Amino acid sequence: MTSLTSFYTGLYGLSVTGVQRTLTAPPKKLDDADLPTLWVDSATYGNTREGTGADRDGFALLTAQIIVCTEAIVQGTTIENMTETLTIADALHDALENADIAIGALNYEITITVHEKAGIQYHALEVNVEAIG
């Protein structure tokens, strides 16, 4: 069974082309020199209750949200930032498809959005990830 710690560690251990810095915890603020920056923002641990065998303990249901901030919106280069964000979304998709951090494949949804840190808005990806551990 996959623990929440190993799931979390596996997610922030992903190698994503285009990401300059991966953080092991959510930041209070971002440094422009480190953008694009990736971190796992939250993770949860539950039980599917769909296990096999006499005790039917089930498998762990693991969920997390990955955030990738690409550039500050005030930078004013929206077209370039959108292109970079889409390129990183494709690279993140590839990394998640090839990840071996839980039982079976990961389920995920990548959303292009705006994320705010320390009062600054960033072009960003929010990725909801779910796995059976």
**pLDDT score recorded for residue 113:** 94
Q: Under CATH, what is the fold of the domain 4-132?
A: STM4215-like (3.30.2000)
Residue 56 confidence (pLDDT)? 46
- pLDDT at 54 (0 to 100): 47
Question: Considering the entire predicted model, what is its pTM?
Answer: 0.87
| SS3 call for 122 | strand
Amino acid 45: pLDDT: 76
Instruction: Look at residue 51 in the predicted model and tell me its pLDDT.
Output: 52
pLDDT of the residue at 131: 87
From the DSSP assignment, how many helices (H) and strands (E) are in the chain? 2, 5
Low-confidence ranges of the chain (pLDDT < 50): 54-56
Nearest partner of 36 among 50, 49, 19, 51, judged by Cα: 19
Cα–Cα distance for residue pair 100/121, rounded to 1 Å: 32
* Residue 58: predicted pLDDT: 65
The domains of the chain are located at 4-132
